[in-house]
C-alpha cells in the first residue's frame, strides 16, 4: 500500500463532499486539532506508570478529538449523509471531570506558571494548542455552519487540561508557582469569560 498519493502536491485536497485548498480555514481547523491530539499523545507518553485512570481518560479524549476532526473536515451539508459525531454528552463528561479535578487540587487564586512535572508541562502545551484549534474553529464558524458542539467541546477541553495539569502536579508534590504581578483573577464571584 502507498500512503502517499501525490494528488495533494498542488495545494488542493479532497475532503468528504468535495475538494478544498489546503490553505482554507477548514483544513487549518482540523489540521490544528490533529496537532493538539499529537501533544496529548506526548503527554500520555510522559504520564507516571501508575496513573492508569488518567491515561484511559486521555485516550478517550484522543478518540473524541478524531470525532472533532471528522466533523470539521466534512463539507457543509455533508452531515446529512454522514451524521455529526460530537454531542452534548461529551461536553458534559468533560465538565464533570473538571469539577472533580478542581476539587482535588489546591484552591486557585492567581494565574500559575505553566509547567511542573513533565506530564503537567505537556498538558499545558496541549491546553494552549487546543485553544489555538478553538480560535481556528471560531474563524471557520464565521464562514460556514459547523457542528456547534465541536466549538464547545474544544473550549471545555482547554479547561480540562488546565485542571488536570494542576492535579498531576499536586499528586506529585510539585507546587505550582503563582504569577505575582496580577490581582486575584480566579474567584467564586467572577463569571464572565
Ligand X SMILES: C[C@H]1O[C@@H](n2cnc3c(N)ncnc32)[C@H](O)[C@@H]1O
| Residue of the chain from 12, 15, 78, 79 that contacts ligand X (CB under 6 A) | 15
> Is residue 87 near its own copies by the rule CB under 8 A?
no
Pick out residues in 152-171 that bind Mg ion (CB under 5 A): 155
Query: Of 167, 53, 41, which Cα lies nearest the Cα of 116?
Result: 167
Instruction: Answer for the pair 151, 134: CB distance below 8 angstroms, yes or no.
Output: yes
Q: Which residue in 42, 40, 9, 13 sits closest to 27, CA to CA?
A: 13
Residue 43 belongs to what H/E stretch? helix 25-45
Residues 6+ apart with CB under 8 A from 181: none
Nearer to ligand B12, 21 or 52 (CB): 21
> Please, which residue, 36 or 47, has the CB nearer to Mg ion?
36
> C-beta of 191: minimal distance to ligand X in Å?
11
Subset of residues 19 to 38 that bind ligand X, contact rule: CB under 6 A: 22, 27, 31
DSSP tag of 108:
-
Closer of 2 and 81 to its own copies (Cβ)? 2
Least Cβ distance, residue 111 to ligand B12 (angstroms): 4
Amino acid at each position: 500500500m502507498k500512503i502517499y498519493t501525490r494528488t495533494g502536491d498542488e495545494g488542493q485536497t479532497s475532503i468528504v463532499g468535495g475538494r478544498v485548498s489546503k490553505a482554507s480555514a477548514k483544513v487549518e481547523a482540523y489540521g490544528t486539532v490533529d496537532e493538539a491530539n499529537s501533544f496529548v499523545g506526548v503527554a500520555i507518553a510522559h504520564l507516571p506508570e501508575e496513573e492508569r485512570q488518567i491515561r484511559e481518560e486521555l485516550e478517550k479524549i484522543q478518540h473524541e478529538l478524531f470525532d472533532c476532526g471528522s466533523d470539521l473536515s466534512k463539507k457543509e451539508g455533508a452531515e446529512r449523509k454522514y451524521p455529526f459525531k460530537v454531542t452534548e454528552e461529551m461536553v458534559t463528561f468533560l465538565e464533570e471531570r473538571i469539577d472533580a479535578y478542581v476539587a482535588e487540587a489546591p484552591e486557585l487564586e492567581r494565574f500559575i506558571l505553566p509547567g511542573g512535572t513533565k506530564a503537567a508541562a505537556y498538558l499545558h502545551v496541549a491546553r494552549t494548542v487546543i485553544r489555538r484549534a478553538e480560535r481556528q474553529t471560531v474563524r471557520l464558524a464565521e464562514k460556514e455552519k459547523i457542528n456547534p458542539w465541536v466549538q464547545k467541546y474544544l473550549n471545555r477541553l482547554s479547561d480540562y487540561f488546565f485542571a488536570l495539569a494542576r492535579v498531576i502536579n499536586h499528586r506529585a508534590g510539585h507546587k505550582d508557582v503563582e504569577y505575582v504581578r496580577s490581582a486575584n483573577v480566579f474567584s467564586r464571584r467572577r463569571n464572565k469569560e
